[in-house]
Amino acid sequence: MPDIPETPNRTIADVREAQDLLFFGYRDFTGAADVILTELGLGRAHHRALHFIGRTPGLPVSELLAVLRITKQSLARVLSELVARDYVAQVQGHTDRRQRLLRLTANGLALERRLFVRQRDRLANAYAQAGPVAVDGFRAVMRAIMDDSARDYIDGAARQDER
């Protein structure tokens, strides 16, 4: 069947390559912050929590759970540690007082900043090397790979950044 326009072989190689790209890219990008995390006795789970709390200050626990897609218990361990170490503050919700709205403390902001800088350096290099057109393509592909709900979340967070 040589008359099929989209050859299976090409697709196969594309997918294999994409698996590699995502594996190595994700590994090395997230790994950039590991030095600091290890030094502080924290893990990537802590970093993820810090990131999303820093990104959306005042978000309730339930929303963080939905974003991370882990169970309440998994988050509780990480979160209680971050609160105990004064990286994260919980304040009671105003409209719904059952909620604990999460935000970074000054301490947490400083740590998140340190972690951020490591990843920024790697990313800034990559973006500069690849060029703005490639960056747009990168965005488009990553957005198309993820679930709709994740895309919506990113768009919501971007709107908040503009304020």
What residues line the site for DNA (CB under 7 A)? 41-46, 48, 60-63, 65, 68-74, 76-80, 90, 93, 95-101
- Maximum separation of any 2 CA atoms in the chain, in Å: 65
Between CA 100 and CA 76 the distance in angstroms is 12
Q: Which is nearer to DNA, 118 or 138 (CB)?
A: 118
Residue 71 interacts with, from a second copy, DNA, none (CB under 5-8 Å by kind): DNA
Burial of 39 (0-12, 13-18, 19+ CB in 10 A): exposed
Half-sphere exposure of 67 (CA within 13 A, CB side): 21
Q: Which is nearer to DNA, 85 or 135 (CB)?
A: 85
CB 143 within 8 A of CB 154: yes
Q: Which is nearer to a second copy, 58 or 131 (CB)?
A: 131
- Which residues form the interface with a second copy (CB under 8 A)? 11-30, 48, 51, 55, 69, 116, 119-120, 122-127, 129-131, 133-147, 150-151, 153-154, 157-158, 161
